[in-house]
Structure 1
């Protein structure tokens, strides 16, 4: 159920309501926050996203609350944390119902039904006359079920409808569905919302040979070279989409939003990700650049504040002149983007759950982490939620609170919890106020 609503307008910007912008979401899939030219990577080439970054309000210290694709994407659809929207992992645990069984399918359907408790972004924009298009990753049934007017994903319970099905071909097999949709919306003179969430640079890492060759000249291992080539390939597809917006004359009045669903650090020795990346609350799992570009409304800037993907939904709704539900926890950043004023917030939060959901009605059964970042400090709290598959090196095995100084120690090597118990205590109180759980958190004896 959607709560009471408020709408942001500055007196000088009431034209936003009469001439709503197109809104385009570019969502990378499994990419580390470091893996772009504009973020300083020495090898990966990302000229199109570099250009977008130079034209955007760029938050280099951006984060997603959950380091796993499905819950992260539902946050982008609803504006709520996973512990609220209820989709905490990718799948129901097969330990309690075999995949494909009637009970397993019932649980899959129930997870998708959680979306019905919220008004999604495409549903809200549809009330304002927007056309909307889905391509790429989508877990919550068909594109129609999520409120899109157009799209590619058939979704569960259709055959193969797990996490995007037909939509996963976008980018990898051309961009025609998106470019044709833009042409149609422009011809009909309708504002449009686009969800571009390609299966890139996600595995399988099988980029075009020309890109493999590009990254196989130095001393990179084959798995790393292929991953770098995938990042390059993703960048190329973003360039094609952004060029289409320019060619159709929509650049000035299009809000482009960029974010990654979760991080990824490529294992140099084999296919797959390294520790402290995907599915963990370390920087390699939750950090991402976040960008907003709307040439008609605000200038480019390189911002130093903390930003979170939890802010994206209220910011997009505000840009379109749509009501913003009072219960959304994120910040509407539109006033800050227009005025360049700092965000009035000193702490952001996140949570981590198991990939397979032990109990779809009890998020805490799969809870692994709660975390907060306040300025330079980051605190991780660890829990005993059920995990069916993790290695002995999984960071969850560290039971004590973990406190890091991200300025002095960006790779999170040194746990300062014992040295700064007052910081731990302060951040634990903030975390408990944000997301209270049963009293399982432990402030170890320092």
Structure 2
């Protein structure tokens, strides 16, 4: 049974949500942070991987896939053992990350399709991205890799605050240049043809000449090298598509894992190893340029790893000790590898064990830089620094929510309690005692589950009533044709 402490936690959550959403004006967390002196503003790098399992990184215990360079970020900074993303698949998770606001507020409840003629299919212009906030604060920024925030010309990186973009606009891409056969997204005849388009280099379609992960890493290093001598601070959003499908790797990386028998798992491991090499090159460049000390770096995956192949027979990713994986609301779908490093402000080697969210990346950045956040778009992310420095106690995120609109599913975390409604029934877990979500304590606590459902419904009533755009797979239709990709990208 849930004790008095847990009952108080539920009551506090109900009161908190009611107060927050009853208020006509919520003060943004970004206005409460310590101001940064202009000439001491940090450079900022956000590194995000795609479908990487919770256990598939050294700092979370992987022995099968060494990641010494990624581990540096955690070991020289902070490892978040309960780092959550806002959705268990790519696009919505990234929308929450890049805005610092829950994506259900603006209807980004599913992956968008890739139709470049549809201005609805992505992050709406009514929302402000971290790149736009930083541009107002004088930062020079670049996005590299996977965009997935919209292919329409009004939704692309260079009209969303990024000064430069090198990558692809869609939700995935082939890793080998010889497989690139389409000039433009509008050449697609069926879904996922866009995985084989040319890359976009500041508005121009270009061929890439090496394994895609290496290509993205090299462009990131080149950007840091080029901007290191500038007075203007920089922001780099490095969005690897690895280890997302298609599972592809070069012999260089495959040869590092001769003892992994399953070919899919071996390729997946090789893809992560390629990312780790790239992160190492980037960290080395920061050291060489003298920028490492005052560069704030975040590393995370966009969601949990794929735990089984489509046929269901063999694990691909390892989310242990968590249950489930990508697309699921169990911990394995939404709790991810998550770390940050800022040598100028944080002493390394810390583990932070309370729940934090990917939305807190924007909350931390805006607060530390004293960036004004639009009053009509208050952040859901908070500044983590006071918690990491011991200036504040308690949970940075007392309540976290997830909504899978299309499946009629939702979930929430309050402290150690996890509640999931799977579309038909509710289940509840005590994560402190049962991180693997094996023992459903809901049947013995139906009244408490009913209270949690009320908390969720109060929150959900303030979200967008439905998704803002059509689902993935609705374009291209047989015989259909979409507009060409012109304009800034």
- Report the TM-score, using the length of structure 2 for normalisation: 0.73
Report deviation, 1:352. Answer: 3.9
* In structure 1, C-alpha distance between the alignment counterparts of 2:437 and 2:315, rounded to whole Å: 24
Q: Note if contact 1:227-1:266 (Cα within 8 Å) is conserved in structure 2.
A: no
Alignment of 1:37-436 (within 5 A): 37-92=58-113, 108-112=118-122, 114-139=123-148, 140-141=150-151, 142-153=156-167, 155=169, 159-160=184-185, 166=199, 171-173=213-215, 175-218=217-260, 220-267=261-308, 269=313, 276-300=324-348, 301-326=350-375, 327-339=378-390, 341-345=392-396, 347-353=398-404, 364=405, 366-383=406-423, 399-436=424-461
Distance 1:122 1:234, change over 3 A: same
Q: What are the equivalent positions in structure 2 for 1:15-54 lying under 5 Å apart? A: 15-54=36-75
State the SS of the aligned residue for 1:298.
coil
Distance 2:106 2:397 in 1: 24
How far does residue 351 in structure 1 lie from its aligned partner after superposition?
2.1
Return 226-235 or 63-72, whichever deviates more.
Answer: 226-235
Conservation of the 8 A alpha-carbon contact between 1:264 and 1:284:
yes
What is the distance in 2 between the residues matched to 1:178 and 1:170? 12
- Corresponding residue pairs, total: 395
Q: 1:340 Cα shift?
A: 5.6
1:105 positional shift: 5.7
Taking a change above 3 Å as real, the CA distance of residues 38 and 244 of structure 1, as seen in their structure-2 partners, is same
Say if 1:74 and 1:87, in contact at 8 Å, map to a contact too: yes
RMSD: 3.0
CA 1:3–1:111 in structure 2 vs 1: closer, same or farther (change >3 Å)? Answer: farther
Residue aligning to 1:386: none
Normalised to the residue count of structure 1, the TM-score between the two structures is 0.80
- In the alignment, what sits opposite 1:441? none
Note closer, same or farther for the CA distance 1:350–1:166 as it changes in structure 2 (3 Å cut).
farther
CA contact (8 A) 1:252 1:295 kept: yes
SS class of match (1:328): coil
Shift of 1:307: 0.8
Cα displacement string for residues 8-66 of structure 1 (whole angstroms, at most 9, x for unaligned residues): 344xxx44444211010010110111111111123111111112111112211111110
1:254 CA drift (Å): 0.6
User: Quick one: distance in 2 between partners of 1:79 and 1:88?
Assistant: 15
Return the offset for 1:238.
1.3
Task: Give the CA deviation at 1:130.
Answer: 0.7
Contact kept in structure 1, 2:293 and 2:344, CA below 8 Å: yes
Q: 1:143, 1:153 within 8 Å by CA — same for their partners in 2?
A: no
**Separation in 1, partners of 2:462, 2:367:** 32
Question: Retained in 2: the 8 A contact 1:224–1:266?
Answer: no
- Structure 1 residue 346, shift from structure 2 partner: 6.1
Q: Which moved more, 1:372-381 or 1:406-415?
A: 406-415
Distance 1:165 1:340 in 2: 49
Gaps of 5+ in 1: 93-98, 354-363, 384-398, 439-446
> What CA deviation, in whole Å up to 9, does each residue of 1:334-384 have, x standing for no partner?
22233363344463323243xxxxxxxxxx4x253221112222111133x
Query: Whole-Å Cα distance in 1 between the matches of residues 391 and 62 of structure 2?
Result: 27
CA–CA separation in structure 2 for the residues paired with 1:404 and 1:41: 25
Cα deviation digits, residues 284-324 of structure 1 (max 9, x gap): 21111322211111223211111111211111112233123
- Superposition deviation, residue 414 in structure 1: 2.6
Residues 154, 66 of structure 1: alpha-carbon distance in 2 compared, 3 angstrom cutoff: closer
Equivalent in the alignment of 2:32? 8
Query: Per chain length, whose mean CA-contact separation is higher, i.e. which structure has more relative contact order (CA < 8 Å, sep 6+)?
Result: 2
